[in-house]
Amino acid sequence: MRLGNSAEALEAAKRAVHLSDCVLRLCITVAHLNRAMYFACDNVLWAGKTGLLPQLDQNKWSQRSFRYYLFALILNLTRDAYEIRLLMERESRSISAKGSLASPSALSPGPENGEFSPPGLSAPPFPAVPVLTARLQRQLRLLVSVLRSNPPLLLDLLKNLCDVFIPLDKLGLYPTSPGFVGACGLTSSILSILTILYPWLKLKP
């Protein structure tokens, strides 16, 4: 029975209500509520399989439980993406500040610093392909740097990405092979064990 898990998810939702960041408060609270509903549906399924509820439509309740599970994972991934964006913005500001201190010319007037271009030298309406490629490479390097310096966030992201394929497959939204689903479940379990063995790897709050 997962009654304990349902109660734990509800308690976690009550704690998340008091978070100061409104995005984290919404994502974490609603995710925990959906986890509680997922465990509750799982308990009903258990009762049907053991014969306590012989008339139970197990397929219907299974689909319902996986929908709650999927929504919880989507919210978890949204929370991860939001935290990554915040950390990338913070890292980018830090790099820009260090660059400004290292090279005073970065503060000189110019189009890149928000100044007007000289007459007759208007900027192109769309950035060139090499400029976009360089910008994308900088963002990827920044993303890798942020994830490497934040192992709890990296583990949580990997775990949620592995878990999300399970309800997608069960609901028929993105069918995959049983082997792939099993590998995702095994990887997620290993990552969960790591957070138990090393509590500092667990993403907070």
Q: Which tens digits make up the pLDDT trace of 58-106?
A: 999 999 999 999 999 999 999 999 999 999 999 989 888 877 776 655 4
pLDDT over threshold 90, residue 140: yes
* Strand boundaries in the chain, DSSP class E: none
pLDDT over threshold 50, residue 114: no
Q: CB under 8 Å to 151, separation ≥6 — which residues?
A: 201
**Would you place residue 193 in the very low, low, confident or very high pLDDT band (cuts 50, 70, 90)?**
very high
Q: What is the CA radius of gyration of the chain?
A: 23
- Residues counted in the chain: 205
d(CA 180, CA 60): 24
pLDDT over threshold 90, residue 181: yes
